[in-house]
Every structure is written in structure tokens, then in C-alpha cells.
Amino acid sequence: MGRIFMITLEGRVYSCKHCFTHLALLDDIISKSFHCGHGKAYLFDKVVNITEGEKEERMMMTGLHTVVDIFCVGCGSIVGWKYEAAHEKAQKYKEGKFILERFKVLGPDGGNYLAIQESLVGGSSDADDA
């Protein structure tokens, strides 16, 4: 197994709630109106520091999709999934996009993210939601 190189993002980031590995930028959110088994989930255009699982077919609220689970490279925790293919024409915009489950990540729009980030990097306490 080779050495893992992690990307450090600049700006308002979403990170793994277990190991704080950076996963995505607030600016890369496409939609905040997704849901998963644990509650809210966000659709992102780009996600970093992940590995992908095996492709599988899943029936979701919006129809059948081919997806892969995505895992944090820092600790191996599942953080969401990636849409590989949508079988319905109206859902094609999701292909190649990522879902991060809010329950599994820390982010700049709530939770205990700010207290953790401030203790790690001396960040500000601006908690506005985008």
C-alpha cells in the first residue's frame, strides 16, 4: 500500500467528524435539500480525500441509481456516496456528483464545527449559513 497524500482545503470546509480530514468546500455545494437515513445530506460537485467502494444499484426516493459509497482516507469512515449513473433522465444531473451526510461530517454551517476548528487553527466564530 502506498503513502496517502491528503489535500488541505482553504476556506470554509466540511471535514470528517471522526478525524477532521478535509472533504469539501462550502462553495462546492450544489444542493442542501437531500436526505439520507440519518437526516440531511448535501450534494457536492467536488469532494477530496476519499476512496470509493464497489458500484451497486440502489433504489432511492428519486429512482434507481448506480452509486459507490465514499470513505474518508484519514480514518476509513463512510461519509456518503457518489452517483455513478442515474437511470431516469430527470436525475442525470447527479451523475459524477457526491453526497456527504451531515450526520457524518462537520461543517461551517452548524454543529460543533466552529469550536473544533477554532481550537485547531484559531479560526473565526462566523457561523452564517450559505
Mean local confidence (pLDDT), 44-56 = 97
How much is the pTM?
0.80
In the chain, what are the domain boundaries?
13-121
Give the homologous superfamily in CATH for domain 13-121.
Answer: Peptide methionine sulfoxide reductase. (2.170.150.20)
* Residue 39 pLDDT: 86
Q: What is the pLDDT of residues 110-122, one digit of tens each?
A: 554 433 444 444 4
CA-to-CA dists, residue 119 to 14, 16, 115, angstroms: 16, 16, 6
